[in-house]
Amino acid sequence: MRFQLVSQDSTTKARLGKIDTDHGDITTPVFMPVGTVGTVKALTQEHLEALGAEIILGNTYHLYLRPGYKVIHRLGGLHRFMAWPRPLLTDSGGFQIFSHSGLRTVQEEGVVFRSHLDGSSHFLSPEKSIEIQVALGSDIMMAFDQCPAYVQESNLVREAMERTLRWAKRSKEAMANCYQQGLNCPHKQWMFGIGQGGTDLQMRSECIERLVNLDFPGYAIGGLSVGEPRDLMFEVVQQSLEGLPINKPRYLMGVGSPHEILRYVAMGVDMFDCVLPTRNARNGYLFVRGGHIVIKNACYAEDERPIDLECKCIVCRRYSRAYLRHLYQSNEILSATLNTYHNLYFYLDTIRQIRDAIASCRLRDFIREFVNQEDG
């Protein structure tokens, strides 16, 4: 993997870049649709290609439990298994395990957890997480980390941060061992380290500094969007970014709304993922210029307009709000497909506009216009 800084906006800290992988180039800033179990819910891979998705995200925890990483490996890896020719990123599984607080026990060696599917007992360590991700064959994998809860004593946050750093080192060693044993896939894989530290700014800075010393190809800011106030999340991201090298990609995990993405792009974040556009779509919340509409509301029962008059997606070019409301009220499968297609188009098109604004050094003006639309 090679990360190239193409240009930088003169009015903000936003960057335009390119990540080279064996499955294609990724232009940054980039939004990665979430395909947790090998699918972005309600869409086909053909939909995602038409939308212009350059990379999607899969999850180690879920794919380990079902259908099993060895099955996927025997079938040629995750790209071939899900018929996706473009880059893939896999999360380590750490966040999912730690979100099931009542079903796991943390040890220095790893985590003992119970499956949310059938209650069976499993063990996941840095070595196991990397073994799984190597077998899946993702282009970018994540080091195994411990995500602390938002409200937690300082000593426990410190403990999780220190363990994350030890696990990061073990993750790197595990990847090297897999390659030495000939377990690597045919294409190049790269690993990002994850910074933790809760909302303690000093701890965040320390974690980033020590993580950078481990020399990963890219870095993620993890453990956010778990209940903390937005202003505090902003401070944590800002503090973390100050310690990251400018010549490597920066990934803010699990964030966020279009407005948040704009804010963090302006601070120098390159990569984003979030379930918001797809989950909201399935619940009838559709993004439009200026905010969102709730398609189930009665006011759209005879509304012949598209979701968004300015949107050029196939859904807005063809279907009315009235029809989409009918599909949603009737619990039709097509409702989830059309709504998801539109929301992801909105996100990916917003990213394309952000890139254009960075290239022409007018991101600050673009942000002002975008926010004014929301306020209006």
Mean pLDDT throughout 269-281? 98
pLDDT band at 374, cuts 50/70/90? Answer: low
Strand-pair partners of 114: 121
CA angle 246, 131, 185 (to 5 degrees): 80
Provide CATH 3.20.20.105 ranges for the chain: 2-273
pLDDT band at 31, cuts 50/70/90? Answer: very high
Residue linked to tokens 């195994």: 144
Does residue 256 contact residue 273 with C-beta atoms inside 8 Å?
A: no
3-class state of residue 165 by DSSP: helix
Which amino acid, one-letter code, is at 33? P
User: Which of these ranges, 9-23, 39-53, 173-187, has the smallest mean pLDDT?
Assistant: 173-187
Strand-pair partners of 140: 89, 190
List the end-to-end C-alpha distance of the chain, in Å, as a whole number: 42
In the predicted structure, residue 98 carries a pLDDT above the cut 90: no
User: Is beta strand 218-221 parallel, antiparallel or unpaired with respect to 250-252?
Assistant: parallel
In the predicted structure, residue 26 carries a pLDDT above the cut 50: yes
pLDDT band at 104, cuts 50/70/90? Answer: confident
The structure tokens listed for 344 are 């992801």
d(CA 106, CA 124): 10
The alpha carbon of residue 120 and the mean position of all alpha carbons in its chain are separated, in whole angstroms, by 28
d(CA 60, CA 72): 12
In the predicted structure, residue 101 carries a pLDDT above the cut 90: no
d(CA 23, CA 21): 5
pLDDT of residue 376: 44
pLDDT of residue 372: 87
Does residue 5 contact residue 247 with C-beta atoms inside 8 Å?
A: yes
For residue 256, whether the previous peptide bond is cis, meaning omega lies within 30 degrees of 0, is yes
pLDDT of residue 158: 97
Mean pLDDT throughout 24-52? 98
pLDDT of residue 185: 84
User: Which of these ranges, 39-43, 103-107, 367-371, has the smallest mean pLDDT?
Assistant: 103-107
> Phi/psi at 210 (nearest 5 deg)?
-75, -30
What positions carry a catalytic annotation? 91, 273
pLDDT of residue 35: 97
d(CA 12, CA 8): 8
Tens of pLDDT along 212-269?
999 999 999 999 988 899 999 999 999 999 999 999 999 999 998 999 999 999 999 9
Mean pLDDT throughout 201-210? 98
The structure tokens listed for 265 are 């792009």
Instruction: Using alpha carbons, select from 113, 86, 93 the residue that is nearest to residue 37.
Output: 93
Does residue 223 contact residue 242 with C-beta atoms inside 8 Å?
A: no
Contacts of 235 (CB under 8 A, 6+ apart): 199, 201
pLDDT of residue 280: 98
In the predicted structure, residue 18 carries a pLDDT above the cut 70: yes
pLDDT of residue 236: 98
d(CA 87, CA 4): 17
Does residue 169 contact residue 176 with C-beta atoms inside 8 Å?
A: no
Residue 343 CB neighbour total at 10 angstroms: 25
Does residue 72 contact residue 82 with C-beta atoms inside 8 Å?
A: no
1 versus 306: the higher-pLDDT residue is 306
Average pLDDT, the chain: 95
Q: Whole-prediction pTM value?
A: 0.97
d(CA 336, CA 327): 9
The structure tokens listed for 333 are 């499968």
Tens of pLDDT along 318-371?
999 999 999 999 999 999 999 999 999 999 999 999 999 999 999 999 999 999
3-class state of residue 38 by DSSP: coil
pLDDT band at 375, cuts 50/70/90? Answer: low
Tens of pLDDT along 127-177?
999 999 999 999 999 999 999 988 789 999 999 999 999 999 999 999 999
CB-based burial of residue 14 (10 Å sphere; 0-12 exposed, 13-18 middle, 19+ buried)? buried
Strand-pair partners of 29: none
Q: Sign of dihedral through CA atoms 196, 199, 203, 209?
A: positive
The structure tokens listed for 98 are 């730690």
Domain 2-273 has CATH 3.20.20.105: yes
